[in-house]
Amino acid sequence: MKIICIGRNYTDHIEELENERPEDPVIFLKPETSLVLKNQPFFIPPFSNDIHHEVEVLIRINKIGKHIQQKFSYKYYNEIGLGIDFTARDLQSKLKEKGLPWEKAKAFDGAAVVGDWINKSELPNVDELQFEMTKNNEVVQSASTSLMLWKVDEIIAYVSQFFTLKIGDIIFTGTPAGVGKVSENDILEGSLEGRKLFSIKVK
Ligand code: ZN
């Protein structure tokens, strides 16, 4: 499986990092080895002093597809979830400055947290989902998918022009404002429409 991530998909987050608003979705990948195994903590890697949390709504692909038309995107997923795109911000800033790829900052072991899945039939419309993450019981990120620049069905159509989507692939749909540094012993908990989907300790 592969993990396809969308960057800069919420205006307020683009502003907080002083990024340019992109003309097309920003895409990057994480390998399967970036997944944090179930019930395991997140270990701060030794090469970064500034690991940021980015809570994101996730889509799990349930059907193989390429060049998917936007009007058919909904047929390619049944489950929606929530996760964290951990980012070594210090390393990413250096790579960005040099115009280099972000993989070292985004695709390292442990950089992807995937919580529990909810069948989309149990949720409101995918473009109107409320989600939030707390750090040590304080809300740090809270948003609605209605604030996405590129909606889920557009993302699926767009990324499938470049990558064949396969069963089990996961799309990280981008983070809203409120990203921030994590420290040892932090507890990060995420919920979608009031249902807690992950709880992870930082070590
Ligand atoms: Zn992200």
Cα–Cα distance between 124 and 98 in angstroms, integer?
A: 42
Q: Looking at residue 170, which CATH number applies to its domain?
A: 3.90.850.10
- Cα(174) to centroid(ligand 1), Å: 5
Counting the structural domains of the chain, the total is 1
What range defines the domain where residue 146 resides?
3-201
Amino acid at 99: G
CB 158 within 8 A of CB 112: no
User: Where does 14-154 show beta strands of DSSP type E?
Assistant: 26-30, 51-53, 55-61, 77-85, 87-88, 112-119, 130-135, 138-144
**What is the value of pTM for the model shown?**
0.96
Collect residues with CB below 5 Å from ion ligand 1: 54, 85, 175
* Residue range 94-137, pLDDT digits in tens: 999 999 999 999 999 999 999 999 999 999 999 999 999 999 99
- Cα(146) to centroid(ligand 1), Å: 17
